[in-house]
Structure 1
């Protein structure tokens, strides 16, 4: 029998795997319960079951006494997803590139996953992938921030929609503060981890630096989920600072920064135009110029703000 390929079904693969797990766990599964669980209609569930049974060979039967689907035997498993050598090379390089910046809750499982995949390959393919890892190297920022130890607990809280209690050092006030906080989003920027969430006391959405968390406890209190979209929240941001009305800014670049401006990928909404030898203008919309000002300061005189309308910053947008 010819080997089947299932690439065109990958968008539904998670549903097939979920059905398999539930049937193997001997959970009561009927058309209605699966439709609710998978968030599809009953007709789609029947098509899934038919495909798994007829095309994947799943021994699914309908047990009339219990009015639910079951496996006639549990030795069957979903077919393996085929990964090409190029896909595995890309994964291997990606894992190596992000490992220096990824905290333990992610780095260790990623390395374990890659090791398992490589172990299943012929030795020649393993060597080729290892060579690719050495040929392409991504260097993280020279100096990174502390705080990655809090990524795991915060991720747990985000997934479970649990409120956290923390002691946080507010740099602007130079003191420790007690926070009751609903975390929604983790972000890694320029060597530092940040968390965005709802502060129960201020009723604002601060961006907190994980390196300034002194103590954190994940409570068993579910928080009321509020509307939050990180793409909207960080729109018109040059990095991590948010808040304020977007205003057009223009930055004059000279010297080395002008020479290399065409090689860079600027934030969305920013454009660069040469205006003379070793000179150009970078323009864009920015809501909170704090990160932009830091970047300009790091350019050692090769960048200068030449036009900036006043921006009204939202208090507490980035808290210390």
Structure 2
């Protein structure tokens, strides 16, 4: 074979040879901490594993196993010794458990945000187990990580706007009826009314929207699906009567056309124009699943939504003051005009 043929053969062989990066990727296919966890499990089982057996089971070299054992001794301070007679490693004294994995600053920050967010579950049965779970997680942190968590805690605040105070007994009764599929009796006070009315309902779904809890339930007497604000529920009684939730019930479908929690049967295309001042804040947020934002000359924008009710979007538009203008539907524009005229009447003379 001539020199050129030899070069072509070597080139073909090199093309099929795994790259250095691929070799490294294959070598680290089993993460080191996962590998050490398996070594820990075998040591706890008193199996007296040695380097040869561990290397074969974990598909790594004997030198890798030796480095792992040294790491477990030095970093974790584990009492690992080698028994010559049984030709394997063992724990010379009890080891409580595998230590928590080290956390990065980003992971610590995410953990702290989760801890702050727990407070929105104040007044619900979820608060106590959530706090207990967080305490278990932080109890296994090392000194340096605890110090970092403390510093981050001083620099981070989670302040939900107007969080709702929910009666724990009411929440527990509702969740019991929900999970056990039992008919729930209660009194309900609608906004603007003086007295609460008795209701009988099949509770289907519980949701938290804008820091307030709502129950989606079939109102037995009115024979339709209703959404009840838990803050306006009183005297709940879980009955012995059971019900079946229909397969056709889809809470996500029901909420998809609402701007918050209120939904209906209508279909509105809502278009709102925002000026440049409001557009700077509006463009960086996700307001609704159906939203379409179009930038217009002058720095403003148009926001398009598909909704089935107008009450919640009306209040939201009013919160923007003079920075938002309804383009359509005319029904929504008329509601804004009516509110504006009433406000003008009330504030006339100031």
Same fold (TM over 0.5): yes
* Aligned mate of 1:204, from 211, 224, 227: 224
Query: Counterpart in 1 of 2:297?
Result: 276
Greater RCO, 1 or 2 (C-alpha within 8 Å, sep 6+):
1
The verdict on how the C-alpha distance between 1:205 and 1:107 changes in structure 2, with shifts beyond 3 A counting, is same
Aligned to 2:320: 299
Cα displacement (A) at 1:136: 3.1
Shift of residue 103, structure 1, vs aligned partner: 2.9
- State whether structure 2 residue 142 is matched by structure 1 residue 145: no
Secondary structure, counterpart of 1:144 in structure 2 = coil
Change in 2 beyond 3 A, CA 1:122/1:82: closer
SS at match of 1:126: helix
Which residue pairs with 2:180 in the alignment? 160
Q: 2:211 maps to which residue?
A: 191
Alpha-carbon offset, residue 208 of structure 1:
0.8
- Which of residues 243, 249, 273 is equivalent to 1:223? 243
| Larger-gyration structure (1/2) | 2
1:179 aligned partner: 199
Q: Per-residue deviation at 1:269?
A: 0.9
Task: Give 1:125's match in structure 2, choosing from 141, 145, 156.
Answer: 145
Conserved? CA contact 2:206–2:213, under 8 Å = yes
- Match in the other structure for 1:254: 275
Task: Report how far residue 291 of structure 1 moved.
Answer: 0.8
CA deviations over 1:55-90 (Å, ceiling 9, x no partner):
9xxxxxxxxxxxxxxxxxxxxxxx979655245652
Compute the TM-score of the two structures, normalised by the length of structure 1: 0.66
* Cα contact 2:182–2:243 (8 A) shared by 1: yes
d(CA) in 2 for partners of 1:84 and 1:231?
A: 38
Q: For residue 219 of structure 1, report the CA deviation from its aligned partner.
A: 2.1
Q: 1:102 to 1:91 in 2, by over 3 A?
A: farther
Deviation at 1:106, TM superposition (A): 1.4
SS in 2 for 1:263: coil
**Partner of residue 103, structure 2:** 85
Aligned positions of 1:5-84 closer than 5 A: none
Q: Could you tell me how far apart the structure 2 residues matched to 1:159 and 1:83 are?
A: 35
Residue 172 of structure 1 deviates from its aligned partner by 5.5
Structure 1: distance between partners of 2:253 and 2:98: 38
Q: Quote the Cα distance in structure 1 between the aligned partners of 2:291 and 2:238.
A: 39
| Equivalent residue, structure 1, for 2:260 | 239
CA distance in 1, matches of 2:185, 2:99: 42
Change (3 A) 1:292 1:88: same
Q: Deviations over 1:30-53 (max 9, x none)?
A: xxxxxxxxxxxxxxxxxxxxxxxx
Higher helix share: 2
User: Is the contact made by 2:124 and 2:166 (CA closer than 8 Å) also made in structure 1?
Assistant: no
Partner of 2:131: 111
Of 118-127 and 200-209, deviating more is 118-127
TM-score by length of 2: 0.61
Measure the CA separation in 2 of the matches of 1:271 and 1:159.
38
The answer to whether the 8 A contact 1:184-1:197 is kept is yes
CA–CA distance in 2 between the matches of 1:80 and 1:231? 41
> Structure 2: which 5+ runs fail to align?
1-31, 38-56, 59-96, 333-350
Structure 2 contact 118–130 (Cα < 8 Å) conserved: no
Residues 144-197 of structure 1 deviation map (CA, whole Å, 9 limit, x = unaligned): 334353323222221222221101112365432111111122222233221111
1:76 maps to what in 2?
Answer: none
Whole-Å separation in 2 of the counterparts to 1:196 and 1:80: 44
Q: Counterparts of 2:122 and 2:325 in 1: how far apart (Å)? A: 34
Aligned residues: 240
Q: Find the residue that maps to 1:226 and give its secondary structure.
A: coil
Question: Could you say what the CA RMSD is over the residues aligned between the two structures, in angstroms?
Answer: 2.9
